[in-house]
């Protein structure tokens, strides 16, 4: 069954929702406006493919999400993710873990794990302050890591989806998230202790 779409009310009905979603995921107001404009225009061209198996809103959100993902992918220089991981594996691991002491392979280097006080549960932390610190730290992550981190934590995509997008194995995926969190931890520890 094919449904007709009433495009006359689109901006009024969905404009704010799509915009705030895009604004949140991209953290860039102008870019968010461009992408929702793109979304509406692509949607009109693709109206014939709307089968009515989901709501108009869901369909538009899906189109917007694809635009956002495309943006993240094309915005960065394209080093294949697995190559990036291989090239940086040793220097990264050596910073946080000790692979030279016999019998203690992989043990943490204590200096790389400074204590962060008040970080045991999120209730005890001032949310908006934490978010500000976090945003700053995410901005400092290497592009390869932050792409994956943002897709998972901001867009809420699942592991399968992300692995397919970047053509990586699931163990690569765990390594990427681990690295991102290690770097965030170091960054937060530095700022939090000031």
Cβ distance to another protein smaller for residue 50 or 113: 113
DSSP string across 69-120: HHHHHHHS----HHHHHHHHHHHHHHHHEE-SSTT-TTEEPGGGS---TT-S
Q: Examine residue 33 and tell whether it contacts another protein (CB under 8 A).
A: yes
Q: Examine residue 163 and tell whether it contacts another protein (CB under 8 A).
A: no
Q: Examine residue 156 and tell whether it contacts another protein (CB under 8 A).
A: yes
Among 3, 28, 41, 66, binds another protein (CB under 8 A): 41
Cβ distance to another protein smaller for residue 11 or 142: 11
Among candidate residues 147, 184, 182, the one with its CA nearest the CA of residue 167: 147
Q: Examine residue 115 and tell whether it contacts another protein (CB under 8 A).
A: yes
Which residues in 50-109 contact another protein (CB under 8 A)?
Answer: 93, 96-97, 103-108
Joined tokens for residue 58: 């869901």
Among candidate residues 46, 17, 21, 44, the one with its CA nearest the CA of residue 31: 21
- Site pattern 126..155 for another protein (x: CB under 8 A): -x--xx--x------------------xx-
Q: Examine residue 177 and tell whether it contacts another protein (CB under 8 A).
A: yes
Joined tokens for residue 193: 């202790």
Among candidate residues 170, 174, 116, the one with its CA nearest the CA of residue 145: 174
Joined tokens for residue 164: 């397919």
CA 33 to chain centre: 19
Q: Examine residue 31 and tell whether it contacts another protein (CB under 8 A).
A: no
Consecutive H or E run containing 194: none
Among 40, 72, 84, 166, binds another protein (CB under 8 A): 40
Cα–Cα dist 60/39, whole Å: 7
Cβ distance to another protein smaller for residue 37 or 82: 37
Which residue ranges make up the site for another protein (CB under 8 A)? 7-8, 10-12, 15-17, 19-21, 23-24, 29, 32-33, 36-37, 40-41, 44-45, 47, 93, 96-97, 103-108, 110, 113, 115-116, 119-122, 125, 127, 130-131, 134, 153-154, 156, 159, 174-175, 177-178, 181-182, 184-185
């Amino acid at each position: 069954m094919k449904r007709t779409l009433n495009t006359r009310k689109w901006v009024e009905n969905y404009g704010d929702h799509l915009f705030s979603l895009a604004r949140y995921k991209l953290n860039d107001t102008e870019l968010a406006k461009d992408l929702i404009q793109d979304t509406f225009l692509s949607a009109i061209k693709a109206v014939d493919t709307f089968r009515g198996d989901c709501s108009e809103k869901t369909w538009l959100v899906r189109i917007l999400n694809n635009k956002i993902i495309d943006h993240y992918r094309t915005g960065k220089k394209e080093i294949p993710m697995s190559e990036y991981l291989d090239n940086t594996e040793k220097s990264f691991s050596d910073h946080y873990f000790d692979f030279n002491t016999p019998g203690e392979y992989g043990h943490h280097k204590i200096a790389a794990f400074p204590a962060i006080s008040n970080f045991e549960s999120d209730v005890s932390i001032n949310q908006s302050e934490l978010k500000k610190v976090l945003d700053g730290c995410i901005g400092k992550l290497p592009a390869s890591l932050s792409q994956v981190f943002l897709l998972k934590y901001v867009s809420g995509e699942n592991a399968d989806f992300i692995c397919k997008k970047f053509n990586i194995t699931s163990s690569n995926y765990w390594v990427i998230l681990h690295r991102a969190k290690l770097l965030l931890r170091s960054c937060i520890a530095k700022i939090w202790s000031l």
